[in-house]
Structure 1
Amino acid sequence: MSSEEYIREAVATLWDRYRDPLSLDELAHVARMSKFHFIRVFRQTTGVSPGRFLAAVRLHKSKYLLRTTRLSAAEVSLAVGYHSVGTFTRRFTEAVGVSPIQYRRMAHGKQPMVPVTATGSGRRDAGAVRGVVHRAETPDTRFFVGVFPGRILQSSPVAGAVVHDSEPFYFPAVPAGSWYLLAVALGPDHRDGGSPPGGCVGPLRVRQFDQLAVDITIRRPDWRCPPIVAVLPSTHLRGTLGHAVVS
């Protein structure tokens, strides 16, 4: 087997045993690699560390339980591998954008949907990012695209917008630094919480007064892609599509 196939086994283990206190030693053993070699190859293959991938899987599973069961937040936290409801609630709120209780109310139509919004930037060292979203292997024509600090679509972007296929986007105030341009399909078939088609470009090095031109292509997700965590317009929740959010 190749190194990628062994990493695939490790990713499958993360999805199968996300409730367990998995250690790097256990995952490296599954991948038949030394721990340090495993961490490096896992990051090269998926774009994130094993720990961040596992955290995204746990939050993804917790959202499913909040939507489909009557388990309390404490029970959900235990079900997905957290032993402290306080830690679970804090990490869920930071990554998803709303608290577990708010998410459940939104999913059940008892609270207006509040999609992820851009944080914006007033810093003078900002540059600009522009481009076009293209689709491949998907019938979807409407997408959310945003600038995020990491490879996983979670928390709030520094800039974002809802766009159509081949429609240009322009973010004029992206702070200097290293960022990822992430995009995800917003078709109605993806509202059940499944993994929708998406795309990623990065890391992008933004400097003051930069005018970066970056196109992004939407493709079907595969096993390398960590799950989406943040609440997006109509991606995880029933309801109407949110308005564009632009910095």
Structure 2
Amino acid sequence: MLMVQAEDTRTAIDEIHNDARFYHQETIEHVIRIMRTQLHEPLSLEEMAEIACLSPYYFNRVFHQVIGIPPGEFLATLRLDAARHLLLTTSLSVTDICFEVGYTGLGSFTTRFTQLVGVPPRQLRQLVRQEPLSLAKVRNTAPSPLTLRGLSGHIHIFRPFKGTIFIGLFPKPIPQARPVSCTRIHAPGPYHLAPVPDGTYYLMVAAFPPSEDPHTYLLAHDVLVGVQGPLHMQQGKANGPIDVVLRAPRLTDPPILCALPFL
């Protein structure tokens, strides 16, 4: 009798936790939708928490648990992603774009954009205006898969795929700036990344259809993504192979900020 009661109690607690996770997921998605509509306006932690009907402390903690980064950092990635889209799809000046996405100073905008995208805004615009991209010229850092050090595994896509798969190891769960180690493959299957310093990382994967147009990779309209982490690297390698299943992007996925495939 006591065992049955204990089992019923555990079941009830599990249901409460599942309901809380579902509620938190919906709440965070609602806040992210508001973020996307107000990129040009200041949006403080207190204001986001009020939208979520939570205290600022609890909202910050829940957002971090669901997304992997704080809400302010997620909002910053959305703003820079919007800036990149405006750079590539409009003739607006860099100064106009800076203010359009909520920055108040051109210097801070340019510095942050360069740090997290990987190239300055004007240079990015120039790169996509050059001759069609040849991926054969893009740097491939994959060492021989015969080495035992580094990070290895398989990329899985449960649908027919033809194109290019970029694989990078990042210190945060955001594909931004230059990855610590990276490679690319042209079909689902095995991959290998070079050894990296000991630490905690996130494996971020993005698969694109075949194209010589840089907009395909920078605007990411038809992309599949996957992430694994946190991964703990010790003595130059992970504890076993790391497999990734690719899927369509979700609202809660941070945008791919790094300037693929120019890094």
TM range (shorter): 0.7 to 0.9
Residue identity matched to 1:198: V
Paired position in structure 2 for 1:145: 167
Using CA pairs under 8 Å that are at least 6 residues apart, name the structure with larger relative contact order, 1 or 2: 1
CA contact (8 A) 1:10 1:30 kept: yes
Kindly state the Cα deviation for residue 117 of structure 1 after the two structures are TM-superposed.
Answer: 6.2
- Structure 2's unaligned 5+ residue stretches are 1-21, 143-148
Kindly state the Cα deviation for residue 137 of structure 1 after the two structures are TM-superposed.
Answer: 5.5
The structure number with the bigger radius of gyration is 2
Kindly state the Cα deviation for residue 2 of structure 1 after the two structures are TM-superposed.
Answer: 1.6
1:214 to 219, 235, 242: 242
1:202 and 2:229 correspond:
yes
Counterpart-to-counterpart distance in 2, 1:19 and 1:52: 15
1:171 and 2:198 correspond:
no
1:61 and 2:82 correspond:
yes
Residue identity matched to 2:110: T
Kindly state the Cα deviation for residue 82 of structure 1 after the two structures are TM-superposed.
Answer: 0.5
Paired position in structure 1 for 2:18: none
Counterpart-to-counterpart distance in 2, 1:139 and 1:129: 23
Pairwise CA RMSD of aligned residues? 2.7
Deviations, residues 77-131 of structure 1 (Å, cap 9, x unaligned): 10101011000001111111111001111122279789996899xxxxxx62111
Structure 1 or 2: larger strand share? Answer: 1
Deviations, residues 137-195 of structure 1 (Å, cap 9, x unaligned): 57455310011111111100111111133331112321100100000012148447145
CA contact (8 A) 1:199 1:219 kept: yes
Identical pairs, percent:
34
CA contact (8 A) 2:171 2:201 kept: yes
Counterpart-to-counterpart distance in 1, 2:110 and 2:42: 18
CA contact (8 A) 1:118 1:159 kept: no
TM-score, normalised to structure 2, is 0.79
The verdict on how the C-alpha distance between 1:209 and 1:139 changes in structure 2, with shifts beyond 3 A counting, is: closer
Counterpart-to-counterpart distance in 1, 2:191 and 2:119: 26
CA contact (8 A) 2:231 2:238 kept: no
Residue identity matched to 1:79: E
Paired position in structure 1 for 2:252: 224
1:182 and 2:211 correspond:
no
Counterpart-to-counterpart distance in 1, 2:176 and 2:88: 18
1:51 and 2:87 correspond:
no
Kindly state the Cα deviation for residue 227 of structure 1 after the two structures are TM-superposed.
Answer: 0.9
Paired position in structure 1 for 2:47: 26
Higher mean alpha-carbon deviation, 183-192 vs 32-41, is at: 183-192
Kindly state the Cα deviation for residue 208 of structure 1 after the two structures are TM-superposed.
Answer: 1.3
1:159 and 2:185 correspond:
no
Deviations, residues 214-244 of structure 1 (Å, cap 9, x unaligned): 01111101111111111112xxxxxxxx7xx
Kindly state the Cα deviation for residue 29 of structure 1 after the two structures are TM-superposed.
Answer: 0.8
Counterpart-to-counterpart distance in 1, 2:195 and 2:243: 18
Residue identity matched to 1:19: H
Paired position in structure 2 for 1:82: 103
Counterpart-to-counterpart distance in 2, 1:89 and 1:117: 25
The verdict on how the C-alpha distance between 1:172 and 1:32 changes in structure 2, with shifts beyond 3 A counting, is: same
Counterpart-to-counterpart distance in 1, 2:33 and 2:99: 21
Paired position in structure 1 for 2:123: 102
- Structure 1's unaligned 5+ residue stretches are 121-126, 234-241
Residue identity matched to 2:229: G
The verdict on how the C-alpha distance between 1:109 and 1:210 changes in structure 2, with shifts beyond 3 A counting, is: closer
